[in-house]
Structure 1
Amino acid sequence: MKFDNMFRNLKLRDRIILGYSVPLLFSVAIATVVYYNVAKVESQNEREVLGYEIVRNTDMIALSLARLQRAARGYLLKPDPQNISNFREAETLFNKSAQYLQEKVEVAAQKNRLDRITELGNESIQFNSNLIDLVRTGKLKEATQNYKSLNRQTLNQEIEQVLDEFEKDEILIQQQKNKETKEALNTLNLVVILGTLLSIGLAIPIGLWIASRITQAINESVNAIASSSTEIAATIEEQERAASQQASAVHQTTTTIDELGVSSRQSAEQAEMSAKGAQEALEKAEEGSSAVEQSLQEMANLKQRVEEIASKILNLSEQTNQIGSISTLVSELANQTNMLALNAAVEAVRAGEHGKGFGVVASEIRKLADASKQSADKINGLVADIRNAINSTVIVTKEGTKSAEQGELIAQKTADAFASIMNEISNVYESSQQISLNVKQQATAIQQVASAMNSLSTAAMQNASGISQTKQGTQKLNEVAVNLKSVV
């Protein structure tokens, strides 16, 4: 009675765990015994495999000793290097097998025999190696006598006897291990069969008793679930109607915000296009201003060059005046020279015969004076033409200077006008950029609101769908409770 009350106070999970704990404990105990026996069988199998390997390596020792004796005998009959190679291979095989047996053999008597086998084998190797050395040094007769001696036969007989004893004892040890393995397998089978039967015998009555107690608890829980599910269904119907209305309102709001988002995006695009147009106009105005500044610079350069030309023309006019003065002086000198030549000719005529040479010189000087006067007249004519040309050039230069000054004034006014235009366009561009930025921010904000409303709409629809599913689940829960009650 006390245990029954304690069982009633337990949860359903604890009841089921308690019901299966007893068979589980028996299963654990059986598994422990089975594990121990399986481990024992595995150990016996490993020892059996090891026994086979020990026997195989024992045979390998006998085979290696026979091979090295055969190689030594072959070298005695025919000194062939291949016999020496065979001898070395047989020696390596003997050492490898002996080393393996030294590591694996654990029985004391067998280890003693193995030590004796190793000792005798080394003696046989040394004996046959001496035979090969005698043949190598040309002592063939001595080698033949040693081979025929009784020591070799006695050594071989003792080796065969110890190997035979070692192998027979190893076979007996293996048979004993096989017997122990069979006993462990029989014990394992018995434990498995008894454990299975005992688990079945305990699980059936305990399971029936627990099932009756669990059925009673389930009946009570089913009645409570059926009553609660009816009340939940009524509440969910009211929530479903409210959720549907909420979803409809959210959908309408979302549609309106989407339209507002489209309008804001169009406004943002138009503002951005205005900003781009203002930027292009600003760039064109900057290009025009740059061109006007360049023209203004060219005008200043032109004015400077015209002034330089005027200065040079004035210098040229002064030089031309100097040339005219020199030409006048040359003409006067020619006239005076002509007069002197005329006087010299008169004096030469007076001198008579003695003045003929002087008369010729005077005549030539007169000719040169005439030529100089003619050249001076030509120079005066050219100087007059140059003066007229210089005067015309001076007039044109003054007019060019005035035109350059007027062009400079006009270019300066144009530059000032472009500067004013650039300032106004810059203000328009900055305003357009600010408007574009504001509109973009508004479009982004509207987009975020639209996204939030879409999420809210989705959540409202999911909420309505969830309530509908909850309603269906409650109805199914009621049906399951009724079915469970009928089944229990």
Structure 2
Amino acid sequence: MMAGRTYGGKLAVGVAITVLLTLLTIAISVAGLAVVVSAKDSAITSATEDLAGAEELSRLMEMRIADYRNYLLDGRPENSRLTEEHHQDFRRKLDELQRGISDTASQEMLTKIRGLNERHAAASAEMMTERAVNNDIVAITRINDTKVVPVRTQLQQALAELIVRVRNDVDRDRQESSTRANQAIGLVIGLGVLTAISAVLVALRLSRDLKREVGAAVGHIQSSSAQLEAAAAQQVNGGRDQASAMSEITTTISELLITSRQIAESAQRVSKIAEETEAAARAGDATIDQTRSSIGTIRSQVDQIVQHMLALGEKSQQIGQVVDLVSELAEQTNILAINATIEASGAGEWGRRFAVVAEEIRKLADRTAASAKEIRTLIEDVRGAVNTTVMATEIGAKAVDAGARKFDDATNSFREIAQLVSTTNDATREIELSTKQQTTAVEQVNVAASDTARVSRETEASAVQTRQTAAHLSTLSSDLLEMVGTGRH
């Protein structure tokens, strides 16, 4: 079938066969899986609904029994009503299950459950009627154990058997669905194996034809490759020269990079040092200002001390004079008062008034003595003021010391500024040296660039021959394309 076809035609036929087999496999796989999934979902859904319905019957039965027992205990109408409602719900659910279940055995079990339910409902109704007129719980319980409990036990056993039956049906449906799924998987695997075998056969056939038809073209390509090899040898030599030149360029560039980094670091150091210099200068100015302020304060305090000392000296002299005068007056007054008292006592009746005057004079003398004491107190206050003045003098001395220290700090700050300026000069010299190194490195780059240009010219001469050989290879490639079916054979 492929005898007269080109390689491109054969490849197209092989690809078409592989694609058809792949599409067929996909279609069959999708259809089979869809059928299996649909059947499995339908079976599981139906069985699950049946199981849920059977369990719902059991739940309704338990609720009805609970309400029935509550009624027997307390006789409330509400429990009777709930018992009847659950009984009706039980009947409706039973009808739904009978309409939905198609299994014969399950239908028979549902019929049995229906009969037992009616018997249980009748017995329960009879007991509730009896309970309405009889309040003897013991008697009601005895009758219930005889009539209702046996039927209820049978009904619960039947419900349990139904649930077991439905669960078995669910397990059986699940196993059948799994079996169908395994069959579908087997079919898909078989088709996949068939597709793989077909693809391998087509690939082997195409590979054999390709080796046979391309073999001749490979011979021509090998002869052209020899010419390319000679040209490539020249290009390798030129490439080596270029590599050496580029190595020198790379080394030079590395030196430039290192030098640039040194310059950047030096510049950073200069900037940092300048900032430190500025900060130190500002600190020196601030220190000088503070020192000047401290000196002004010291001068003001010294002036105040001088004024206080002068004033205190004058006040001390005045107070001393006043104290002396007061003391003399007090002594004389006391003497006069004593004499006046003596004279008054000798004058008899006429001296009483004079005695009164003498008494007043004596009191005045006492007051004068008290004033003298107050004056002494003032003198003590003056002494305290003198002490305060002394303390102020000490504070002034301390301020003077602080001013001296401030001057020392200013001196140190300016020394630091001088040292930082020296460091800045050193960094500037390093920057200058790095710049000279960069100049030398740039000259080396120029030399390496010249060598690279020379090697490039030599490479260009070799590239001409390589282009001619490439043209020949292009012609052979066109023949190869025609051979594989792209052009005319």
- Report the TM-score when normalising by structure 1: 0.42
TM-score (structure 2 length as normaliser): 0.42
